[in-house]
Amino acid sequence: MENIRAYGAGMAGGQFQPAVFLRKPAVILRIFALVVGLAQWIAISRGGWYKPENDVEQICLYANSSSTCSFGSAMGFFAVLSSLGLLFLEAKFEKISSIPTRKRAVTTDMILSALLAFLFLITFFSLWSKYGEVEISEPYSGGMAKSAILFALLSFVTWGASAFLAWRRYEEGSITNFVPSYEQNFGSGIQTGPDYSYGGESDIGATG
């Protein structure tokens, strides 16, 4: 019974062990995604905009597209929130005793990670293709705007890896669930009558 696992974790119970928790690959990826997402958020919020000396309004360094700057910054912010939420879910996962609830948690992780990976891929190509298209006559520093492009690429790789790990956990859970379900269905299909007969009345072997 101690070796029974469901969706990548053992049976519910036991104490939370921070050292073991922090060594999990999924946790390491989410912490890295949190850091990179925070870095992208800050890089675009502070370095993605530029205010010319003779102009009142700021311009976005990505082809002067304010929507691109806003989208890139928002993606970093949502990555931070998603990482925190999934880290909390991972910390509570082994306390969940219901297998259907575990399945929903893993499915949520898989879908959210895959969605963020797709959105960060779009973010990377959007930032990369539009940077440098804006024409500014005066000198400016675009280091943070360039670094945001790298952070978007790293976020895509990280969330893609997280989605893959969640998919592996989902597959493991499906296999784990098949075994008890099969045994239960197999056992319920056998009907035994009194005295280990096939059921019903029979005169075979009767005496007297």
Residue 65 lies in a domain: yes
Q: Residue 88 belongs to what domain range?
A: 17-177
Residue 196 lies in a domain: no
Residue 182 lies in a domain: no
98-102, 103-107, 180-184: which has the highest mean pLDDT?
103-107
Residue 186 lies in a domain: no
Question: pTM of whole model > 0.85?
Answer: no
Residue 185 lies in a domain: no
As for how many domains the chain has, the answer is 1
> ∠ CA(120), CA(122), CA(125), 5° rounding?
110
Contacts from 80-88 at CB under 8 Å and sequence distance 24+? 80/34, 80/37, 80/38, 80/41, 82/33, 82/37, 82/112, 82/116, 83/30, 83/31, 83/33, 83/34, 83/37, 84/34, 86/30, 86/112, 86/113, 86/162, 87/27, 87/30, 87/31, 87/34
Residue 208 lies in a domain: no
- Structure confidence by residue, pLDDT tens digits, 37-62: 999 999 999 999 888 877 778 888 99
Residue 85 lies in a domain: yes
- Which has more pLDDT, 179 or 126? 126
pLDDT the model gives residue 135: 73
